[in-house]
Chain A
Amino acid sequence: MIDVNRDGEVWVFAEQHNGQLEDTPIELMSKARRLADTLGVKLAAALLGDNVKGLAAKLVHYGADKVYLVEHPLLEHYQANSYAKAIFDLVHKYEPQIVLYGATITGRDLAPRIASAAKAGLTADCTDLQIGDHTTIKDGQLHKNLLFQIRPAFGGNIIATIINYDRWPQMATVREGVMPMPEPDAARRGEIIEEKAELSQQDLPLEILQEHKRPKKVNLKQARIIVAGGAGVGSKDNFKLIWDLANCLGAAPAATRAAVDLGFIDGDHQVGQTGTTVRPNLYIAVGISGAIQHQAGMSQSQKIIAINNDPDAPIFQVAHYKVVGDLNEVVPKMIKTIKEK
């Protein structure tokens, strides 16, 4: 158990596989940088693996003041037990006040195991993090500068702000894609602290027999323009309209969960709470009613065009351009106008 420690650093778990950093720890860096600055403490990355020292400079470029580097042959491939043990030992030694993980499958496999061992709090799948104060109702005690762990709950219908004030570190996993990628600054300098891990074969209970990588068919997070279709598009054949509009805009085609479930398009294209969270310059929502779960994944787009024949569709509440009409007429007109420009 780690006591409340006001001078503790802010940490980000720098998830890497095969020497490649994941996007989420980098996305987390800009937010974590702000948290650390607000608290007046250092931002550190915890980088584990075998022969991964080369990634440390990159983490500094993205905002880390320090990198705790743990290299060990037994850390070459991720496993919950070995990684949890190595991070738990680090946390125990340095007592950071905040530890953040990407809410990737690895992050969600790993973080609970560390939280359980440290008997610390952990909030899953946060969409925002802030620093703030909390007064306990029971005794009126003021707890200053806590980590506000903000996340949707109950299907996205409420937003909960979770805190932990009596046992630290404050830990959270953070949803992929909800924070913008920072720009790297190659001039930034940081400190690399090499740490030893005490590991044996006993810490590797899993034998990884096979691994099959399947690259995503589309990179929605990087797309500047997204054209998304919902159940209202009607059929897989008619979904060609979405592809056509996307093609002439150089945009990425996307879909709601309903459209994916109906087989209109592959699940890699799904935007929303259980899909990808996106924030493009332009999001064109075609035949999408705008369930809260879908909005959770796209409402932060810079500009939103909604096309729907139902004027009461909830998607219009977040749209900048509201086109009430038949998508089968509106979309071809859009394609024509764009081609003529």
Chain B
Amino acid sequence: MRRRTSCLLAALLLAAVTGCAGEGEATPSEPSTSAASSASSAPESSAAASPSDETEKVVEISVAVTDGTVRPKPRRVEVDRDSQVRLLVTIDVDDTLHVHGFDIEEPLEAGRTTTVELVADQSGIFEVETHESGLELLQLEVR
């Protein structure tokens, strides 16, 4: 339970930073591994949402790539179907992010954190990878 809470806190903090900065200068020095869900971490226009509101669940996942090494190590992140997923990707070279199955491709700029949001509206396991360097960052397990 304690771990959950601290994860939640980390997610909140990160959301606060990246949510305001957009694709900006946020470069977390220590990549967070939070995969918490929280109503209040949805940044834009959700101030009125009650914390128990199911539809406002946001799962935030951060991953960083330095010298071709993915941190945290590629893993499977379980999310509930139809939940909101926010990916925060920081990389040290220009690249393209690709979320399989959801047909999302997003340019990644060196040294910046790119945020991608999606609604996990189909079940299955989906790879999240970089195109140029061909690294698998993580897998979304939607059930």
Q: Determine if chain A interacts with chain B.
A: no
| A residues neighboring B (CB under 8 Å) | none
| B residues neighboring A (CB under 8 Å) | none
